[in-house]
Copies of this chain bind each other. A is one copy, B any other.
């Protein structure tokens, strides 16, 4: 299928649609729909979005301490004195950090690994920010490491690797509880979740 809008040379619009179509969750058709919507709303949508992209690319920095992304380095979570210094929540990605912050139920520090261990994807311990985490445990007043990693094979093998690496260090290593999701209906849950929830049952 010809993706250009005409049979002539590639236009600025063709290039824009190609770039949009490569973004996660978008394809050729949704990219065209978005591009047309923007073209019909240049002043209100297209130009402000271009400015927001450039502003973000310029202003957002990676925190050298926790590897999150923020307008400042160190980030506002690392420098927030109202947050506990004793607990570090270890997450795979900045998206996971945002998901946890959205709940407003954690008031400690974070450490972003930048991925999970995966032989297939060539992600070994050197590719993740694990050494920096161990350095923080030894150099700071850390009492607890919460491994907030996905309940997948890669998430759990990364958790095991970090727990092993923390062996002998003066720190408690915990992980997020596994069980039924909030609002989960037993009939619709997978067998693994039910088994885990059953084995981890608590006294009422």
Residues of A within 8 A of B (CB): 1-2, 5-8, 11-13, 15-16, 19-20, 22-26, 29-30, 32-39, 42, 45-60, 69-71, 76-77, 93-95, 98, 101-102, 104, 187-188, 191
Q: Which residues from chain B contact A95 at a C-beta distance below 8 Å?
A: 32-33, 36
Task: Name 27 interchain pairs, CB-CB below 8 A, sorted by A.
Answer: A2-B102, A5-B101, A7-B101, A11-B60, A11-B70, A12-B55, A12-B58, A12-B59, A12-B71, A15-B55, A16-B49, A16-B55, A22-B45, A23-B34, A23-B38, A24-B30, A25-B30, A26-B34, A32-B95, A38-B56, A38-B57, A39-B60, A47-B53, A50-B51, A50-B53, A50-B54, A53-B53
Given contacts A12-B55, A36-B95, A50-B53, 11 further A-B contacts (CB under 8 A): A12-B56, A12-B59, A16-B56, A19-B45, A24-B30, A24-B37, A32-B95, A32-B98, A36-B94, A46-B56, A47-B53
Determine how many copies of this chain the complex contains.
Answer: 2
User: Which 4 pairs across A and B sit closest by C-beta, in order of nearness?
Assistant: A50-B53, A16-B52, A12-B55, A12-B56
Interface of A, secondary structure class, is: helix
Given the known inter-chain contacts A45-B22, A49-B20, A52-B12, please indicate yes or no for A102 contacting B6, CB distance below 8 A.
no
